[in-house]
């Protein structure tokens, strides 16, 4: 039986293809960047055709590296940047416009208008798990209907197809104009603000309120299911799993049980906690989302909290303060001092997100004395990521009603051992880094392997996930409390900086 699995990881800046064997070893990797199109401030677009082409190229390149019979590949899993919105013509197969990327803020006004109605920013939260925000794809679609002539009518006629990047890829790979499947998966659909979290289907009331013709929407599939046969220029492989990127990382970290969590430390941080078959309504302004669903089984849900500035604070120290010339230098600089010397940095560059939600906050460096030096600043920069994670974990624990017992980590910042140790210290739980840090691609491959029968069950996947290193908490509780208090004092001082009424 063929036993290789391909994972397509279609990210915000690049597209990758990784080929795994059944022991979850990486056998080939190929990557291509794509253009970031920035037509005006706040707008971010991608060319959907360029993305599709890059998927074909990375797949062909990975296959070439492997030098194996294509028939060895038994399944493909797709994971993608979430919320990025594409609309295309079902007859020509051509996109009507560039894709509107998740980071794009053009729907700000629309969000404001809709939030003025009864129920405010949380008017769809009970059904969708999401606050009204520029991130989510349903309002990007509404914006397209409002702003681009003829699109609404095309949708009403059934000519216009909407999808996030997963749908665009699935439709094209399974035949395009010749009968491509217009599908999405539950994890991607749960980020549209149009899906009912309990019914796992489009919510008729929300569609009617936003005036979105349902014929434009893809069919919602479980994340682990047969999405159809993909044709990579003649190489045919069934698509057996589709996940949004953060959900794929949760799956790739083997967080299959309620209470298990992962944090991805990149430019920002994304923390997801598996809450089992219960969609917990957050009282602390976290997002409720679908973690995954296997065909014929109930959906598994997650709470999600994101942190805007994590690795980007390290980049700020490099590019704006010029205290280091590469991100990797921050660790040795931080190690020139014993501790933070009472210096705290709150990176509220654009206000504070979860769990504070203060748009009037701005960044600060607190506790400076004549004694403070660049080593203390470096420590404070790294510690800011650990403290922000601690605050999101506390909000999750309050929502979930159970304490976290360990945290699995991935992403570019996890090479920083000082940060990892400090994270364990302030959280008071072990931090675990896996052998395969490509957890997003691994999650897609795990899902596809499960769907194709390479792995019989989740337990078999657990056996393929391996810890590489862990950090145990090693800080006296008294000192930990003192640090936490100081951090929270600094956070409070960042409030009320911008007068939003002016
Ligand atoms: P993304 O996927 O969001 O682009 P990555 O997971 O590739 O991000 O991580 C890149 C981020 O990690 C950058 O913001 C960079 O500054 C930070 N980073 C890289 N190496 C280190 C390091 N040794 N210590 C701290 N931060 C680092």
For residues 482 and 490, what is the distance between their CA atoms, to the nearest angstrom? 12
Q: Specify the pLDDT at position 81.
A: 93
Tokens 């991805």 belong to which residue?
264
Give yes or no for residue 411 CB within 6 A of ligand 1.
yes
Which residues does the chain have with pLDDT short of 50?
A: none
Q: Which atom of ligand 1 is nearest to the CA of 311?
A: 14
Q: What is the 3-state secondary structure (H, E, C) of 346-387?
A: ECCECEECCCCCECCCCCEEECCCCCCCHHHHHHHHHHHHHH
Q: Specify the pLDDT at position 502.
A: 53
Q: What are the tens digits of pLDDT across the range 343-381?
A: 999 999 878 877 887 778 899 999 999 999 999 999 999
> Is the entire prediction scored with pTM above 0.85?
yes
Length of the chain measured in residues? 502
Q: Specify the pLDDT at position 1.
A: 59
Give yes or no for residue 328 CB within 6 A of ligand 1.
yes
Residue 95, helix vs strand vs coil: strand
Find all residues with CB under 8 Å of 461, minimum gap 6, and list them: 254, 256, 446, 449, 450, 455
Q: Specify the pLDDT at position 3.
A: 85
Q: Supply the residue whose CA is at minimum distance from atom 17 of ligand 1.
A: 311
For residues 59 and 428, what is the distance between their CA atoms, to the nearest angstrom? 42
CA of 315 to the centre of ligand 1 (A): 8
Q: Supply the residue whose CA is at minimum distance from atom 8 of ligand 1.
A: 266
**H/E run at residue 202:** strand 201-202
Give yes or no for residue 329 CB within 6 A of ligand 1.
no
In the structure encoding, which two tokens stand for residue 475, read together? Answer: 């800080």
Q: Which atom of ligand 1 is nearest to the CA of 11?
A: 2
CA of 222 to the centre of ligand 1 (A): 32
């Amino acid at each position: 039986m063929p036993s290789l699995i391909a994972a397509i990881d279609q990210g915000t800046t690049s597209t990758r293809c990784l080929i795994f064997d059944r022991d979850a070893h990486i056998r080939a990797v190929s990557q291509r960047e794509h253009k970031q199109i920035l037509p005006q401030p706040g707008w971010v677009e991608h060319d959907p055709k360029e993305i599709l082409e890059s998927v074909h190229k990375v797949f062909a390149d990975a296959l070439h590296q492997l030098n194996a019979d294509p028939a060895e590949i038994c399944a493909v899993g797709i994971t993608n940047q979430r919320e990025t919105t594409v609309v295309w013509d079902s007859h020509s197969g051509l996109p009507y416009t560039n894709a509107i990327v998740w980071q794009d803020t053009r729907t700000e006004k629309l969000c404001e208008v809709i939030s003025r109605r009864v129920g405010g920013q949380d008017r769809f939260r009970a059904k969708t798990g999401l606050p009204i925000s520029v991130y989510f794809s349903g309002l990007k679609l509404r914006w397209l209907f409002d702003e681009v002539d003829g699109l609404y009518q095309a949708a009403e006629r059934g000519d216009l197809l909407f999808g996030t990047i997963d749908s665009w890829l699935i439709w094209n790979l399974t035949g395009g104009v010749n009968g491509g499947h217009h599908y999405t998966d539950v994890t991607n659909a749960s980020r549209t603000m149009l899906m009912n979290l309990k019914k796992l289907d489009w919510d008729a009331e929300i569609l009617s309120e936003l005036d979105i013709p349902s014929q434009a929407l893809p069919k919602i599939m479980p994340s682990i299911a047969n999405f159809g046969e993909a044709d990579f220029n003649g190489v045919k492989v069934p698509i057996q799993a589709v996940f949004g990127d953060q959900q794929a990382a949760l799956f790739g970290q083997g967080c299959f049980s309620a209470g298990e969590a992962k944090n991805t430390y990149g430019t920002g941080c994304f923390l997801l906690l598996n809450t089992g078959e219960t969609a917990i309504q957050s009282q602390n302004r976290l997002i409720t989302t679908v973690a995954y669903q296997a065909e014929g089984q109930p959906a598994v849900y997650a709470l999600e909290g994101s942190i805007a500035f994590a690795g980007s604070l390290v980049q700020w120290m490099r590019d704006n303060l010029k205290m280091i010339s590469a991100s990797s230098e921050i660790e040795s600089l931080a190690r020139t001092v014993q501790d933070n010397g009472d210096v705290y940095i709150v990176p509220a560059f654009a206000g504070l997100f979860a769990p504070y939600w203060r748009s009037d906050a701005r960044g600060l460096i607190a506790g400076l004395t004549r004694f403070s030096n660049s080593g203390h600043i470096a420590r404070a920069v790294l510690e800011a990521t650990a403290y922000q994670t601690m605050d999101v974990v506390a909000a999750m624990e309050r929502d979930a009603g159970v304490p976290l017992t360990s945290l699995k980590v991935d992403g570019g910042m996890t090479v920083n051992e000082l940060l990892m140790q400090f994270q364990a210290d302030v959280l008071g739980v072990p931090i675990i880094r896996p052998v395969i840090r490509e957890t997003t691609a691994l999650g897609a491959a795990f899902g596809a392997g499960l769907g194709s029968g390479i792995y019989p069950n989740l337990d078999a996947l657990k056996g393929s996930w391996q810890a590489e290193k862990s950090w145990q908490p090693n800080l006296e509780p008294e000192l930990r409390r003192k640090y936490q208090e100081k951090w929270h004092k600094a956070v409070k001082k960042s409030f009320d900086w911008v007068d939003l009424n002016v």
